[in-house]
Amino acid sequence: MEWQDPLSKVLRQMMAEIDYDNDGIVSLEEWRRGGLTNIPLLVLLGVDTCVNTQCTRDVSGAQQTIVFGHFRTDSKVHHRCMASLAQECDLGILSYHTLPPTHIFPAFLERSSSFKRHTNGQSLLQAVSPGTHAHPLLVLINPKSGGKQGTRILQKFAYILNPRQVYDLSKTGPEPGLHLFSTVSNCNILVCGGDGTIGWVLESMDKMEDLFIHGRPPVAVLPLGTGNDLARCLRWGGGYENESLYKILLQIEKATTIDMDRWSIKIMPKEKQKKKEKGDPQPYNIINNYFSIGVDASIAHRFHAMREKYPEKFNSRMRNKLWYFELGTSETLSSSCKNLHEQIEIHCDGETIDLGQDSSLEGIAILNIHSIYGGSNLWGRSRKGKTRFNFQLPNANDKAFLQSRVQDIGDGLVELVGLESAMQMGQIKAGVRGARRLSQCSTVVIETFKSFPMQIDGEPWMQPPCMIQITHKNQVKMLVGKKASRWRRVE
């Protein structure tokens, strides 16, 4: 094969440099020593510069040849510069998030009594030695979320990070990854999926609370699919749009840690109704986002039933929106939850809420976060309250007082709002008005006297007459993207 200028001189010099025994022939062993088959490609493509800061020669020139490269750190080095490099890999631009392979070892070497067995009864094959140099990231991905997005993200994260940091939730669930990272200090968790996936991971962390030696790690979100109200509230956006994962990791590096409330919900069917009417199973016993009864839950329940019966009709975001619009219009005409106040009683912190004041309601919602229905704000904007000098504590259910109250994801309070109709829900979605503020409290007791559609964090079901108790469960650390001036920062 004849080499043509200007490549001839470059390629001949390259071959001469990897001919280590100077016999005029490049053997297979010499080729491998020179950097395998990457050498001619790197030279011809003219990769930037040598990773050695003391080297002033461009790698694209003919004076030096790159013979070693690192796929994870994207670093390249001349053969003659190898001796001046540090022996230990610095993990490159992702060192903040990467768990070095040297920090993972067989579990039987761990003599600490803190080592626990996996929840399925099998011992973990490996344990993690805590490191203080960075904030290793545990990535938990639900590949079923967002169509094929989850699968692609799983492959990408396994490539740019240590594969031991990345877990497919559809195969293993959250527990193996949480166990592996339970002894890692300063670690963060990234959940890739929808609100349901986040709730799944948080509930698994509740069960493993005592295993986290350095405290419960904060959780960031990469939203997949639609809705994603919790991700919106935490400023991670409404959905992943194929942004660079490097950019997302940089945002996590700059994120702020806050405390987020979570709430226990206990539903007790009335004794007389247990035999008469059997409802659907309760989807969750923890509220992360919101709980609602009435008109919005009715639309969600009908949408859920239609999607299960005719899945082929719900294969795109646009179709889903059209179905919601049609079901909302139908609910407006039927008003299936009209005169809600006649069939329900609510007590907030021991005080009875008057649901029949001003106008009739068709639904109520109890909010923990300020995003619902894929970005709507039911509580709305708060007015600045006037300073009044008196010795009476304000009534938490007073109209004027409620108008000045703001939502805080970590204040130990929930917000109770009323919904007048399906039409009002459309106005709220459009941002032209909010729901009716009813109360801000720390405990809620609800009694229903007929079957109602209900939903927790977007999961609807039909519930016969019952008693409902909502109380504060705990606070968990979450990571907020960008500037977090509204939130109470955790130092």
Pairing of the two strands 75-78 and 66-70: antiparallel
**pLDDT tens across 277-329, in order?**
677 889 999 999 999 999 888 888 888 888 888 877 766 667 777 777 777 77
Q: What is the pLDDT of residue 140?
A: 97
**pLDDT tens across 241-271, in order?**
888 899 999 999 999 999 999 999 999 998 7
Distances in whole angstroms, Cα of residue 4 to Cα of each of 8, 37, 422: 5, 21, 75
**Tokens in use for 385?**
């309250």
Average pLDDT over residues 16-42: 62
Q: Is there a contact between 180 and 208 (Cβ–Cβ < 8 Å)? A: no
* 461 φψ region: left (φ > 0), alpha (ψ -120 to 50), beta (else): beta
What band does 128 get if pLDDT is binned at 50, 70 and 90? low
Distances in whole angstroms, Cα of residue 114 to Cα of each of 126, 179, 182: 14, 11, 10
* Residue 339 in this model has a pLDDT that exceeds 80: yes
Task: Please state, in angstroms and rounded to a whole number, the distance separating the CA atoms of residues 411 and 263.
Answer: 12
Q: What is the pLDDT of residue 286?
A: 96
Task: Please state, in angstroms and rounded to a whole number, the distance separating the CA atoms of residues 470 and 472.
Answer: 7
Q: What is the pLDDT of residue 356?
A: 78
2-11, 236-245, 307-316: segment of lowest average pLDDT? 2-11
Cis peptide before 217 (omega within 30 of 0): no
Q: Regarding the domain delimited by 263-386+393-480, which CATH topology (the fold level of the hierarchy) does it fall under?
A: Tumour Suppressor Smad4 (2.60.200)
CATH class of 101-254: alpha beta
Query: Which has more confidence, 207 or 382?
Result: 207
**Tokens in use for 18?**
């990897």
Q: Is there a contact between 73 and 39 (Cβ–Cβ < 8 Å)? A: no
pTM for the whole thing? 0.76
Task: Please state, in angstroms and rounded to a whole number, the distance separating the CA atoms of residues 409 and 252.
Answer: 19
What mean pLDDT is reported for the chain? 77
Contacts of 484 (CB under 8 A, 6+ apart): 235, 255, 256, 258
Query: What percentage of the chain carries pLDDT values higher than 90?
Result: 35
The domain locations on the chain are: 7-89, 101-254, 263-386+393-480
Task: Please state, in angstroms and rounded to a whole number, the distance separating the CA atoms of residues 166 and 150.
Answer: 12
Task: Please state, in angstroms and rounded to a whole number, the distance separating the CA atoms of residues 489 and 491.
Answer: 6
